[in-house]
Amino acid sequence: MVSLATPEEYKDKTGFVYDVEKYVMVPHCARLRRVEVEQRQQALKDFVETFPENKMEINSPDIGIITAGMPYNYAKEIFPDYSYLKLGMVYPLPEKLIRNFASNVKKIYVVEELDPFLEEQIKAMGIKVIGKEIFPFTNEFDPGVIKNSIQKNTKEAASTYQENLSPRPPNLCPGCPHRGLFYALKKQKAFVHGDIGCYTLSYMKPLEGLHSCICMGASIGMAHGMSKAMKEKGKGKVVGVIGDSTFLHSGITSLLNMAYNQSDALIIILDNSTTAMTGMQEHPGTGYTLMGKEAKKVNLKNLISSLGIENIKIIDPFNQKETRSVIKEELAKDGPSVIISQSPCVLFKRANIKPKPALKVDPDKCEGCKACLGLNCPPISWKKGITKEGSKRKGISFIDETLCNGCGLCAQVCKFGAIS
Ligand code: SF4
Ligand code: SF4
C-alpha cells in the first residue's frame, strides 16, 4: 500500500554559501567544527532511540536475536518464534532500546556477518550476549549457518547450504578481445600486474594471464615499483595491464610517475572503447558523456605521449602474430613502454560487432594437442576417447556453434589447421 503525500512546490534553494569557518578545514576552523561534530553525534543518539526502522519483536521470552540487514531474514526463516531486535541503523546504536530488549529476554545472540561490530558495542554496554563464540567470522551467512551455530553452539559446526550445482566460474565472453592478448602474454612468461575489469578473470586457469590485482588503478604503480626492484636484481621485465576506463579514471598519474622515474615496465592498455564490466558506461575516451551527449574524446596515444612515454604501439589483439611479436619487442626494450590493445568489447552495442559464422574443428585434422583449450573460450570443449590411426591423440576439441562468435582466435592457435 502506497500513501501519497501532497506534492510540495519546488523552491530553488541553490546558491553560494560563504562560510569559511565551515568549508575551509585549516586547524583554527577544524577546532570549531569539532564542537559541531559532537553536537550532531548527540542529536543522532537521541534520534536513533525512536527511529522506526529499529524494530523490536517480542515473541519468546527465552531467546532473543539482535541483528541488522540480511541476517535478520536468515534467522527469522529458521527461528520464527524467537524475539528480535532488528536494527535499521547501526551507528550510533540505540542503547536504551537495546537495554529494553535485553530486559525482555533471557539469552541474546548477536547475528552479524564478518567482524563483531554490534557485538563489541553491546558488550561494552555491559550486556551479556553470545556472538562470535559460535558464529563464523568468515563469508556470508545463510539460514544453515545460523541454525547450525545456534543448535550446535560452536562455530566449527557452521555449514553453508550445499546446492547440488556444478561450479560455473565466470569467464571472458566468446569473441572477447582480451582473450588473445592474455594468451599472447602467457607465452612471454612475464609477471603481469592486473587491474579491475572483466580482464581480471584471465587470472584463472588455463589462461593464467595475470598474477596480481589489488585495487583500481594499482597495476601501473605496482609494475613500476616491481620493475625497479627487479632491475636491481637483474631479473625479468614486468608488465602492468589496465582497461581504458580504469586508465583514464586512476592510471594516468602512475604512468606519469613511470615516465618521470623511467622504470622498465611494459604497460598494456586494454582499450575496448567502454567500461564493460560495470555496464558499458561512457568515459572520457568514448566521445560521449554519461548523459549521452557528444563530448571531447581523449586521444590515448597523444595523452600517453604527453606524459613522457616514447615507446607506444597500437595492436589488434585478434592478430596473434602481431600481438606476440609486439609484446616480445617491447619487453626487450629498456625504459617504459605502452601498448594499446585496441578492439571494442564484443557486447558493446555502438561498436555493432556482427558475429561471423561459427568455426568448426575438423576431426580428421585435429591432433588433440589441446592448444585451443588454452584459450578458455566457452564454446571449446574436449571430447575424450576419439583416437586416430597413426596418431597419439586421446581425444579431440569441439566447438559449440551456438556459442561461437567466429572471432578466429582458436584457428590462429591451432598449428594443425584443424579449425576453420
Ligand atoms: S589446437 Fe587444433 S589440433 Fe590442437 S586440440 Fe585444438 S583443434 Fe585439435
Ligand atoms: S572462433 Fe574460436 S576463439 Fe573465437 S569465439 Fe569461436 S571458439 Fe571462441
> Mean pLDDT of successive 10-residue segments in the chain (420 residues)?
91 92 96 96 97 97 97 96 98 98 98 98 98 94 92 73 73 96 93 95 94 95 94 80 97 97 96 95 97 97 98 98 96 95 95 92 97 97 93 95 97 97
Q: Are residues 221 and 76 in the same domain?
A: no
Residue from 361, 386, 393 whose mutation best tests the ligand 1 pocket (most atoms within 8 A of CB): 361
Same domain? For 295 and 376 the reply is no
Which among 379, 375, 372 has a CA at the least distance from the CA of 357? Answer: 379
Instruction: State whether 151 and 190 are in the same domain.
Output: no
> Residue 239 Cα, ligand 2 centroid: separation in angstroms?
26
Same-domain pairing of 200 and 305: yes
Helical (H) or strand (E) element with 388: none
In a domain, 13, yes or no: no
Residue 5 in any domain: the answer is no
The residue among 146, 7, 169 whose CA lies nearest residue 77 is: 146
With respect to residue 234, please indicate whether it lies within any of the assigned structural domains: yes
Residue 18 CA to ligand 1 centre (angstroms) = 71
H or E, element range at 399: strand 395-399
107-111 and 191-193 strand pairing: unpaired
Does residue 307 share a domain with residue 200? yes
pLDDT at 161: 60
Q: Is 172 in the pocket of ligand 2 (CB under 6 A)?
A: no
Q: Separation of 348 CA from ligand 2 center, angstroms?
A: 18
Both 189 and 318 in a single domain?
yes
Ligand nearest to the CA of residue 178, numbered in listed order: 2
Question: Which of 334, 351, 368 is where one domain is finished?
Answer: 351
**Residue 359 CB: number of other CB atoms within 10 A?**
21
Closest C-alpha residue for ligand 2 atom 4: 407
- In this structure, is residue 407 part of a structural domain? yes
Same domain, 202 and 344: yes
Domain shared by 38 and 65, yes or no = no
Q: Are residues 238 and 294 in the same domain?
A: yes
- Domain-located, residue 211: yes
- What CATH number should be reported for the domain holding residue 416? 3.30.70.20
Contacts of 195 (CB under 8 A, 6+ apart): 213, 216, 217, 218, 219, 240, 241, 242, 243, 246, 251
C-beta of residue 297 within 8 angstroms of C-beta of residue 287: yes
pLDDT of residue 163: 61
- Specify whether the CB–CB gap between 134 and 63 falls below 8 A: no
Q: Does 175 contact ligand 2 (Cβ within 6 A)?
A: yes
Q: Residue 112 is part of a domain; what is its CATH number?
A: 3.40.50.920
User: Helix or strand or coil: residue 307?
Assistant: coil
Q: Which of these, 349, 393, 332, lies nearest to 367 by C-alpha position?
A: 393
Domain-terminating residue out of 304, 320, 351: 351
Asked if residues 172 and 178 have their Cβ atoms less than 8 Å apart, the reply is yes
Which atom of ligand 2 is least distant from the CA of 407?
4
User: Is residue 363 within 8 Å of 386, Cβ to Cβ?
Assistant: yes
For residue 373, give its domain range: 354-420
Q: Whose CA is nearest to atom 2 of ligand 1?
A: 414
Cα 374–chain centre separation:
24
Q: Which three cell numbers stand for residue 3?
A: 500513501
Distance CA 87, CA 94 (A): 9
The closest-lying atom of ligand 2 relative to the alpha carbon of residue 408 is 1
- Find the 184 Cα to ligand 2 centroid distance in Å: 15
Q: Is residue 6 part of a domain?
A: no
Please tell me the predicted confidence (pLDDT) of residue 158: 64
| 190 and 303 together in one domain | yes
Q: Is residue 14 part of a domain?
A: no
- Residues 219 and 273 both lie in one domain: yes
Half-sphere exposure of 336 toward its Cβ, with a 13 Å CA cutoff? Answer: 27
- Statement to judge: residues 95 and 236 lie in one domain: no
Q: What is the count of structural domains for the chain?
A: 4
- Residue 349, burial from CB neighbour count under 10 angstroms (0-12, 13-18, 19+): exposed
Q: Residue of the nearest CA to atom 6 in ligand 1?
A: 372
Residue 184 lies in a domain: yes
| Amino acid 160: pLDDT | 58
Helix (H, G, I), strand (E, B) or coil at 85: strand
Query: Is any atom of ligand 2 closer than 6 Å to the C-beta of 180?
Result: no
39/43 Cα distance (integer angstroms): 6
CATH of the domain at 344: 3.40.50.970
Question: Residue 244 contacts by C-beta under 8 Å, 6 or more apart in sequence?
Answer: 269, 270, 271, 272, 273, 274, 283, 285, 300
